[in-house]
């Protein structure tokens, strides 16, 4: 192993078993979130909504600039700009 391949001394590599344990603890939360999303995208925001105009930063549906909270998480009328129609 060359010095280029070695991690910096302050970087700790996490143990695979610890990562798997942590994941198994998180799994029920992911499953609950998936059930709540009910097939909707987890990455729903105004930035990936068909109605958002990035030039004016306004929602074309409501003709307003959405509040930061809505920009971050989208609203019920979100339409996925990258949706594949089949």
Q: Which residues form the interface with ligand SF4 (CB under 6 A)?
A: 46, 49, 51-52, 59, 61-62, 66, 70, 74-75, 77-78
Q: Which is nearer to ligand SF4, 22 or 77 (CB)?
A: 77
Shortest reach from residue 56's CB to ligand SF4, in Å: 11
Q: Tokens 């105009």 appear where? A: 53
In angstroms, give the least distance from the CB of 79 to ligand SF4: 6
Q: How many residues does the chain have?
A: 86
Minimum separation from the CB atom of position 68 to ligand SF4 (A): 11
Handedness of CA 8, 10, 16, 21 (dihedral sign): negative
* Closest to 58 measured CA to CA, from 71, 75, 42, 41: 71
3-class SS of residue 19: helix
Of 15 and 54, which has the nearer Cβ to ligand SF4? 54
């Amino acid at each position: 192993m060359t010095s280029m391949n070695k991690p910096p001394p302050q970087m700790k590599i996490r143990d695979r078993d610890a990562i798997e344990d942590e994941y198994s603890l998180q799994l029920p939360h992911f499953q609950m979130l998936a059930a709540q999303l009910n097939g909707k995208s987890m990455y729903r925001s105004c930035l990936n909504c068909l109605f958002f105009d990035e030039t004016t930063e306004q929602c074309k549906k409501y003709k307003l600039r959405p509040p930061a909270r809505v920009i971050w998480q989208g609203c019920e009328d979100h339409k996925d700009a990258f949706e594949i129609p089949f």
